[in-house]
Amino acid sequence: MDELAYVELKGIVKTFGALRANDGVDFRVNRGEIHALLGENGSGKTTLMNILTGLYRQDAGDVFVDGRRVFFRTPKDAIDSGIGMIHQHANLVDALSVEENIAAGTERTFWIDKKKLRVRISEIAESYRMLARPAAKIYSLSVGEKQAVEILKAFYRGVTTLVLDEPTSVLTPSEADALFLNLRRMRECGHAIVLITHKLNEVFDISDRVTVLRKGNSIFTSPIGATNRTELTEKMVGRAISLNIPRTAAPPARETSRPPLLDICEIVAGDGRGRFLDRVSLQVESGEIHGIAGVAGSGQRELCDAIAGLTLVTSGSVRLNGRDIRGMGPGRQRAYGVKIGYVPEDRMEMGLAGDMSISGNVMLRDFLTGLTGSNGPGKIFFNADEADALADRIIKKYDISAPGPAEPVKNLSGGNIQKVLLGREIERRPDLLITAYPVRGLDIGASTYIFELLNREKENGVGILFIGEDLDILLGLCDRVSVMRSHKLVATLDARTAAKTEIGALMAGHSGAPAL
The contact set with other proteins (CB under 8 A) reads 15-19, 57, 62, 64, 67-71, 73, 308-310, 329-334, 342, 344, 348-356, 360, 363-365, 367-368, 379-382, 384
- Can you say how many angstroms the Cα of residue 292 is from the centroid of all Cα atoms in its chain? 15
The three-class DSSP label of residue 512 is coil
Beta bridge partners of 217: 214
Query: For residues 456 and 479, what is the distance between their CA atoms, to the nearest angstrom?
Result: 14
- Whole-angstrom CA distances from 153 to 53, 92, 102, 109, 132 are 15, 10, 5, 17, 11
Beta bridge partners of 223: 209
In the chain, what is the greatest distance between 2 CA atoms, to the nearest angstrom?
A: 79
Q: Which of 281, 270, 279 is CA-nearest to residue 313? A: 270
Query: For residues 346 and 436, what is the distance between their CA atoms, to the nearest angstrom?
Result: 8
All residues at 6 or more sequence positions from 337 whose CB lies less than 8 Å from its CB, including other chains: none
What does the angle CA 503 – CA 504 – CA 505 come to, to the nearest 5 degrees? 90
Query: For residues 485 and 489, what is the distance between their CA atoms, to the nearest angstrom?
Result: 6
Query: For residues 197 and 236, what is the distance between their CA atoms, to the nearest angstrom?
Result: 12
57: left (phi over 0), alpha (psi -120 to 50) or beta: beta
Query: For residues 159 and 463, what is the distance between their CA atoms, to the nearest angstrom?
Result: 50
Query: For residues 208 and 149, what is the distance between their CA atoms, to the nearest angstrom?
Result: 25
Residues shown for the chain:
516
Residue 338: what are its φ and ψ, rounded to 5°?
-80, 120
Q: Are 344 and 302 in contact, with CB atoms under 8 Å apart?
A: no
The three-class DSSP label of residue 253 is coil
- Can you say how many angstroms the Cα of residue 127 is from the centroid of all Cα atoms in its chain? 32
Query: For residues 169 and 173, what is the distance between their CA atoms, to the nearest angstrom?
Result: 10
All residues at 6 or more sequence positions from 499 whose CB lies less than 8 Å from its CB, including other chains: 513
**Residue 378 identity (one-letter amino acid):** G
Residue 266: what are its φ and ψ, rounded to 5°?
50, 45
Kindly provide the b/e burial profile for residues 200-235, where b requires at least 16 CB atoms within 10 angstroms of the residue's own CB: bebbbebbbbbbbbbebbbbbeeebeebeeeebbeb
Q: Are 177 and 508 in contact, with CB atoms under 8 Å apart?
A: no
The three-class DSSP label of residue 124 is helix
